Structure 1
């Protein structure tokens, strides 16, 4: 379905760009955690490919794209190598990386939803797997790094924009109006929501009327 909206070369380039940015974010966390070179590579791979791998296993798309396409596997390793040698310079452009990360989030939630639907899942399940594609790698990264997954404490609204984007795609499919315009609108909406959340520090709401004396963990 999505391959009918964008030329294969463009789609492949967008996938690689998203994978590279997610891998860079994972590798930077590994550096901050003082992981060795192997740990940096593992966190880069897991962050970049974890969500798509989970999606493909659930829908039965085997072997998963991460193993069927060599460039998908090599790109995170290139990102890990760059961070390993150039992490001070990469850290200085962290804001730009966050912008590209938002773009990757937007792209992956849309591609994940459409691919799940292509494999016969219902609209709700497809949207859920779109979310999993976008944020699943980050959850695995945080678990391996011994952090509380950002999905569970959605500071600066990381998961919410992906939910919006996946839902927009599902609605477009339901009304048989999924095309380049509606797909682009879902991607742009997700991207802009994520940027606004970073700019204004929006976050998902805490428990209603929470009065606990226990301070929130940093």
Structure 2
């Protein structure tokens, strides 16, 4: 189980790093900037989660594989960004995949540290959205999570599946798969069909 979680965690790190690196290339940052943005997008949410649950030092800093994975994604994007850009909406696709993986893994780790299902779901959401917020702030862009799209809501849905499975004492591995698919599907459908949360109308 621990090996499987590590594999999925590294996959999530890689795809989130791809989203950060792709945005950096679009912003015409140099190689160092691409690596910084890829690492920020990949590990910021996990570091916040680990600090809040008392997992010291954070996994992203204690295990060299996380930062190396993020930097490899950044180097690959810097070298072959043309091929990545030819994918349909690459930043959004990678971001949705990273969001789904991090949301369910963050919820699972919070549950393992004894948090309640509700608190674990919130921390799963934090794990999922933290990297994207850090990535957007570094390039002076309003974070996607604050732009009324179904971003944090999708992370809550994915984490909620894992937390509900824990309450019902169902196996965690299938719950994580279902939760990740639910999160990714909701986020991707929101992007494809323009699903958004209500926005307050400015007074004229």
Task: State the TM-score, normalizing by the size of structure 2.
Answer: 0.91
Structure 1 range deviating more: 88-97 or 120-129: 88-97
44-53 or 197-206: bigger deviation: 197-206
Query: Which residue number corresponds to residue 81 of structure 2?
Result: 87
Determine if the alignment matches structure 1 residue 188 to structure 2 residue 165.
no
Residues 152-173 of structure 1, C-alpha deviations (whole Å, 9 max, x = no match) = 1133x22211111112222222
Deviates more, 1:70-79 or 1:198-207: 198-207
* Correspondent of 1:14 among 8, 11, 23: 8
Give 1:1-218 correspondences, 5 Å limit.
Answer: 3=1, 8=3, 10-95=4-89, 98-155=92-149, 157-207=150-200, 210-213=201-204
Measured against aligned partners, the alpha-carbon deviations of 1:95-123 in whole angstroms (never above 9, x if no partner) come to 46644432322121111011112212222
CA contact (8 A) 1:169 1:186 kept: yes
- List per-residue Cα deviations over 1:40-97 (Å, max 9, x = no partner): 1111000001100110111111111112222111011111112222222221124466
Contact kept, 8 Å, 1:26 with 1:44, in 2: the verdict is yes
Structure 1 stretch displaced more, 190-199 or 175-184:
175-184
Is 1:18–1:101's contact at 8 Å kept on the other side of the alignment? Answer: no
Please, which runs of 5 or more residues in structure 1 have no aligned partner? 214-218
Name the SS of the counterpart of 2:48 in structure 1. helix
Tell me how far 1:126 sits from its aligned partner: 1.1
Other structure's SS at 1:15 match: helix
Deviates more, 1:99-108 or 1:36-45: 99-108
Question: Which stretches in structure 2 are left out of the alignment for 5+ residues?
Answer: none
Q: CA deviation at 1:197?
A: 1.3
User: Structure 2 CA distance, aligned partners of 1:115 and 1:197?
Assistant: 27
CA distance in 2, matches of 1:27, 1:36: 11
Q: TM-score, normalised by structure 1?
A: 0.85
Runs of 4+ aligned residues of structure 1 deviating over 6 Å after TM superposition are: none
Secondary structure at the counterpart of residue 176 of structure 1: coil
Partners of 1:165 and 1:99 in 2: CA distance:
16
Alpha-carbon separation, structure 1, partners of 2:160 and 2:172: 15
